[in-house]
Amino acid sequence: MAAYQTRRRGFLVFRGGSEAMPNKPPDRREKPIYSVEEASEYLGIPINTLYAWTLGRRKPKQPDQYYPAVLKFVDRRSRRLSFFDLVEAHILRAATEKDIPLRQIKNGLEFVREHYPNHPRPLLTLDFRTDGKYLLVGGMLGSKEKDIEALVNASRHGQLEMTQIIEEYLQLIGWDASGDPDTIFPKTGGRVVSITSGIVSGRPAIEGTRIPTAIIAQRFRAGETVEELAAEYNITT
């Protein structure tokens, strides 16, 4: 299936860019480079929460049994996340912030993976929305005009539901021409800071530059003021 995007009233309703293709060259965004601690700092997700999402967690009173990880592609051996994992965690955080129970999210993701095997990373290839109670998936009905605003409620096993489209989290993600994510704007960075695959090794940088935020932080700790740094790097404070 070819990648395509459809827009109506400013809403992006489908992405198909991450579908597996034969002889596809390695994508640097799939390389595990971020430790859980590092990803926690970048995304503002509590570290214990991120550990549970990426590596699973023990069940209470059952130390030999684990709840499975929500994010299925994290490298368990190195315990590191790829850029795509980072984006998935960012989107998952957005869903949980809308008070969607984690079990509801897991059910939705499992439904999509089972019924749409060409989308093993549904958080990246489909638009997930929430009406404050149910996890919804947009784009499953194709590109017919009459279906564009119809959503499948994955956690209700495919029941159609009309609802106001919410895509706040998409504003903090940049997408390439194929419809795959290639930039994250950390929630606390005010779009001044971005994480882009292939720019300063995928670490936070001043948006539109190759200036790592770590250098600015180091200079600030050395005694330079916020005003001095902002003036030198042309950052609006």
**pLDDT tens-place string over residues 9-66:** 333 333 334 444 455 678 899 999 999 999 999 999 999 999 999 998 888 877 778 7
Is 229 domain-assigned? no
Amino acid 24: pLDDT: 65
Residue 218 lies in a domain: no
Could you tell me if residue 65 is inside a domain? yes
pTM over 0.85: no
Classify residue 134: in a domain, yes or no.
yes
Short-list 85, 84, 113, CA closest to 181: 84
Angle at the Cα of 61 (from 59 to 65), degrees rounded to 5?
A: 40
Q: Which of 87-91, 188-192, 204-208 has the lowest mean pLDDT?
A: 188-192
The tally of domains found in the chain comes to 1
Report the range of poorest mean pLDDT among 59-68, 199-208, 224-233: 59-68
Q: Is residue 191 part of a domain?
A: no
Q: Is residue 59 part of a domain?
A: yes
pLDDT of the residue at 21: 44
Q: pLDDT by residue (tens digit) across 124-158?
A: 887 776 766 677 776 665 544 444 455 677 777 66
- Domain-embedded: residue 11: yes
The answer as to whether 195 is a domain residue is no
- Structural domain boundaries enclosing 50: 7-171
